[in-house]
Each structure stands twice: as C-alpha cells, then as structure tokens.
C-alpha cells in the first residue's frame, strides 16, 4: 500500500488555503518527499507526519514553486542531529539550481553538518528495494530535465495458510523460506516446494506522480494501468490557450489521460488560484468519474484497485 499526504496543492503562488507543491509518499518504512515548495516545513509540522526519515526528496523539475522550500528544510535539518544525510534526486538542470540555492545561499562556504547528496536522475530505475521500486520518466514542461515518477510494488504470490496447515508445516523459518521461493525439507524428511503453498502471482499496486506538464501523449505508456495517478491541473478548458502557452494541463486533459491510460483513480493538484475547486472537479468528472481534487493535508491510501481518502 502507498499512502499519499498532500502538503501543498497550489500552482505558482500559495493561496490562503493552499501551500506550494509538496507531498509525501509512504510505503511501509520508506518515505519520499516529492517537491518542496516554499513553506513546506510548516506544512510538515501542521500535518503531524514529523521530519523523521523524511530525508529523501524527489524533484519533478526546477521551477521555484517546487524547490524553494529546500533552503528552509536544509537549514532546519542542519540543526537537527537525527538526520545524518539528505538525498535530493532531480534532473541535471534542476540539481544545478538546487546547488546554487543550497551552497550559494544557505551554506555559503560552511560545510553542512548533514551530508547533502545531489543525485542526478535519468529515465529508468532510481530506487529499488525488496517489495517496490521507483522509476523516473521524462515529462515535457518548460525547460529541460522534468520527470515523473512511477512507484510500483512488485508482484508476489500470496502464502496459502490453509495449504500449509494441511501439509502440517510448522510456523517459523520453513514458511519464510517457502515464501522466499525455496524448497524446504521438514524434520520428518518430507520435501515441500513453494508451489504447494503459494497462490498465483498477484500484481502490486502502481502509483504514478506527474508534476507540471504541457503534454500527455508521451505519458500514456508510463501511466498505463496505474491504480492512482496524481497530476497537475493548473487550468480549466476555457483557458486552454494559456495552458498550452505555459506548458500546463487543463483538468479536461488530465482526465483524458486517465481514460487513455486506463487509470483507476485520478487526483488533481497544482491548482491555479483563479478557479473554484468544484469547477475543476466537474470538468474532470465529466470525462473521468473517478477524479478527485487534492486539498492540503488530504491523505489517500492506495491499494490495488482502490484509492481511499483517509478521514482524519
């Protein structure tokens, strides 16, 4: 299961009710901060999620409404010893700008007490653990090196406890080895193969995050089949000429992408202050009924085929 906590949902400038782009993606003990607009620190505090293990940052691109919060976040981490290092992932030109911000403004020759790792991403796998991985893919927005991120749980075969009981396999390391795909020999000499206790393979949950983007035709293959897609929706269709000019989407285009890519649920973020939330929602739902508009501090839990808002 992936959990998404929206920390900022406004485009370009904050509004009274919405902070600038930032959200947290959690998977068990792993946490990722996606983008870090100005004011993100305070949003983290207000959300109650805490700073612990929040030291892996994925940047969709280098526009100021997505990165300025890193300056404040780093200056807080520098005084807070529980964090030993911070990893910031981004495209080349995004990292260049982040480097200027952190080393030219925040640090200015001081050696950071926390290790700052600027990790350049290219298309492909950027993070991989036992049960899920994160892949970056290119996105067309103003300027180079913009990326989207696909979080995918690995498919797995469920352990069939009933079969294990019927075979009288004792609990403990034997069952663990079977789940790991190993054939075991029980103390009574019987050999048990994984196929005897594991069900058919089940695909994992897929969550895709796209930041600012002006095109959707090149995203279909990456978004394909996602249980949930989070994507920008800066404009309404009445101002689609502006959306084109500034490299952004309308709610309608985001919804069309969800249809084309056979997505299960769509959550819109990065909203312009000029529109009412219900108009954005209506435009998207007319095309793709499973659409939602994120608000700051909304939390969604994403499982295979489901996307539930956590009522807090």
Residues marked active site are found at 65
Which one, 121 or 184, has the nearer CB to Zn ion?
Answer: 121
Could you say which residues in the range 104-133 bind Zn ion, by CB under 5 A?
Answer: none
Which one, 63 or 222, has the nearer CB to Zn ion?
Answer: 63
Q: How far is the CB of 59 from Zn ion (least distance, A)?
A: 11
Which one, 14 or 204, has the nearer CB to Zn ion?
Answer: 14
Which one, 83 or 146, has the nearer CB to Zn ion?
Answer: 146
- Looking up tokens 């009412």 gives 276
b/e map 259-293, b = 16+ CB within 10 Å: eebebbbbbbbbbbeebeeeebbebbbebbeebbb
35 contributes a contact to Zn ion by CB under 5 A:
no
63 contributes a contact to Zn ion by CB under 5 A:
yes
65 contributes a contact to Zn ion by CB under 5 A:
yes
Q: How many helices (H) and strands (E) does the chain have?
A: 10, 17
Could you say which residues in the range 180-219 bind Zn ion, by CB under 5 A?
Answer: 212
Q: Which two tokens stand for residue 101?
A: 């911000």
Q: Which of 304, 132, 130 is nearest to 205 (CA)?
A: 304
Q: How far is the CB of 208 from Zn ion (least distance, A)?
A: 18
Q: How far is the CB of 135 from Zn ion (least distance, A)?
A: 21
Q: Which of 87, 42, 85, 11 is nearest to 242 (CA)?
A: 11
Q: How far is the CB of 141 from Zn ion (least distance, A)?
A: 5
Identify which range of 64-72, 89-97, 113-121, 237-245 contacts Zn ion by CB under 5 A: 64-72
Report whether 197 contacts 212 (CB < 8 A): no
Q: Which of 277, 12, 273 is nearest to 141 (CA)?
A: 12
Q: Given the rule CB under 5 A, which residues bind Zn ion?
A: 63, 65, 212
């Amino acid at each position: 299961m992936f959990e998404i906590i929206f920390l900022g949902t406004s485009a370009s400038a904050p509004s009274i009710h919405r902070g600038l782009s930032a959200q947290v993606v959690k998977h068990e003990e792993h946490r990722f901060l996606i983008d870090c607009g100005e004011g993100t620190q305070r949003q983290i505090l207000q959300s109650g999620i805490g700073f612990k293990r929040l030291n892996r940052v994925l940047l969709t691109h280098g526009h100021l409404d997505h990165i300025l919060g890193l300056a404040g976040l780093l200056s807080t981490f520098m005084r807070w010893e529980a964090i030993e290092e911070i990893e910031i992932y981004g495209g080349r030109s995004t990292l260049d700008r982040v480097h200027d911000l952190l080393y030219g403004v925040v640090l200015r020759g001081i050696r950071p007490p926390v290790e700052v790792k600027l990790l350049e991403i290219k298309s492909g796998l950027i993070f991989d653990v036992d049960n899920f991985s994160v892949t970056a893919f290119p996105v067309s927005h103003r300027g180079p090196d913009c990326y989207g991120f696909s979080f995918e749980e690995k498919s797995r075969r469920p352990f069939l406890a009933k079969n294990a009981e019927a075979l009288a396999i004792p609990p403990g390391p034997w069952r663990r080895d079977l789940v790991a795909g190993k054939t075991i020999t029980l103390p009574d000499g019987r050999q048990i193969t994984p196929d005897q206790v594991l069900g058919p393979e089940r695909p994992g949950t897929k969550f895709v995050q796209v930041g600012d983007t002006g095109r959707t035709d090149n995203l279909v293959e990456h978004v394909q089949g996602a249980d949930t897609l989070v994507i920008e929706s800066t404009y309404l269709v009445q101002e689609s000429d502006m959306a084109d000019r500034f490299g952004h989407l309308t709610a309608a285009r985001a919804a069309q992408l969800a249809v084309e890519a056979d997505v299960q649920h769509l959550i819109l973020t990065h909203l312009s202050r000029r529109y009412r939330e219900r108009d954005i929602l209506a435009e998207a739902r007319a095309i793709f009924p499973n659409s939602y508009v994120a608000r700051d501090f909304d939390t969604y839990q994403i499982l295979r085929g489901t996307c539930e808002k956590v009522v807090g």
